[in-house]
Amino acid sequence: MVNNKEEWERLDSSVQSITVNGCDDDLNELLDLSRFGELVELKIGSSCFNYVSVMSISRLPKLKSVEIGEKSFQNESVDSQLMVKNCPALVSLKIGNQSFKGFKRLELSEMNGLKSVMIGDECFKECDLVLRELKGVESVCVGSGSFEKSRHTVVESLIW
């Protein structure tokens, strides 16, 4: 359970579950989760990590679910991006309303175990979307106003 930047930084790299209830005091622009090699579940609450412009969830072999609450990740810099890739056990990704709304790129790739992607309303408003090597995907639900000004979309290798 994480409530602030200090608790985030003290997390042991072997944790299997992370729940963030508050972490808006973290001024870092990069949030890289690759150090958590045993992570199975990630839950980030509402209004968290609003200074982060790059979030990387990659090379996590045991990660099964990612859930992000509303109004998190509000950075709108030109290089802002969410990358979720090479997490073979990931089954579900859920993003709450108005999270990542100013991010410019969303890339989901190399996750053939991913079954479900749910993106809430008004997320990734002007964002490029890249979906690659997601052969197990059964559903992608995108809320109202999300990707409404996307200029570039790539969808490759989604079906077995």
Dist. CA 66–CA 99, nearest whole Å: 13
DSSP 56: E
pLDDT of amino acid 121: 97
Dist. CA 78–CA 64, nearest whole Å: 30
pTM for this model (two decimals): 0.92
Instruction: Write out pLDDT tens, residues 78-121.
Output: 999 999 999 999 999 999 999 999 999 999 999 999 999 999 99
Instruction: Write out pLDDT tens, residues 51-83.
Output: 999 999 999 999 999 999 999 999 999 999 999
> Nearest-CA neighbor of 131 among 148, 107, 112?
107
pLDDT of amino acid 25: 64
